[in-house]
Structure 1
Amino acid sequence: MVSCSATLDVPRPVVVFLARLLAAPRRSIGTPKGSRVLGPFRQSVLALRWFRDRTWVHCLARDAGISQATGHRYLNEGINVLADRCPDLHAVLERCRLAGVTHVILDGALIECDRIAGTTEPGNDLWYSGKGRRFAGNVQVIAAADGTPL
């Protein structure tokens, strides 16, 4: 067995920010401190490694000393707390209209991912991209004409 430590090239304040977002729901439902395998900080590192390096979830789970199922759950929690902070498309467009912005850029990218369980009503796989012919999540970005994310 070979041990290895690595550095995640993400600023510490970003990890702390996500850790605080992850800790808030735990506090609100009264989760006892130390009752989960990973604390909010280590869970945020797991989620950010997935975003940054496209690390396979089974590798993230192994490195964190948790099961693959727990790794998926912790990753989904990280994605969900970030997604909850994103403004709604209509709210962004309304802000732009009020600010007098005449043009915006809407762009997206397929971010490759592990196969995640989930089906739509007709039985199609929720995370399969027919266009990309692979499992991926569609990330959309709205930017001002100069490229500044809105």
Structure 2
Amino acid sequence: MKILSLTAAGLLALTPAAAAQTTTPPPLPTWLNLSVYSGHPGEKVSLTVACEGEASPITTKALRVTAPLDRNAEGHQPWALFGESVVAAVAPGTYPVSVRCARKPLTVHFTVLAAKPRPGQVKVLPHGAPRTGDGSAS
């Protein structure tokens, strides 16, 4: 009789309801990731969002989106969205970067650094005309 009750208990554990509970994967985590978290105006920043649901566009003053969030065209990583941006020409400082995944807000922070001087750019501007004389002393 002990064998029969153990067998019945084992069969109950394998009922469809019990099997469904053990094989349903947990929901994937959601996150927003940037390729870098600080940069100078004009530099590129890649964006990745883990989101199984619907995602909103990226909102921020720090980045100018050049390629909106989209899923991989070949179906790789169907839970992920990828986008591209460049650092905006805004005042140096730290700005929020946000997206909504299935109405859940995801936010990270990006630091805009001061613009880099261009090569050969004069750091101090000269004042007035050069003092070469007017030619009357010759």
Query: Radius of gyration: which is bigger?
Result: 2
TM-score by length of 2: 0.23
Higher relative contact order (CA 8 A, sep 6+): 2
- Higher relative strand content: 2
- Higher relative helix content: 1
TM-score by length of 1: 0.22
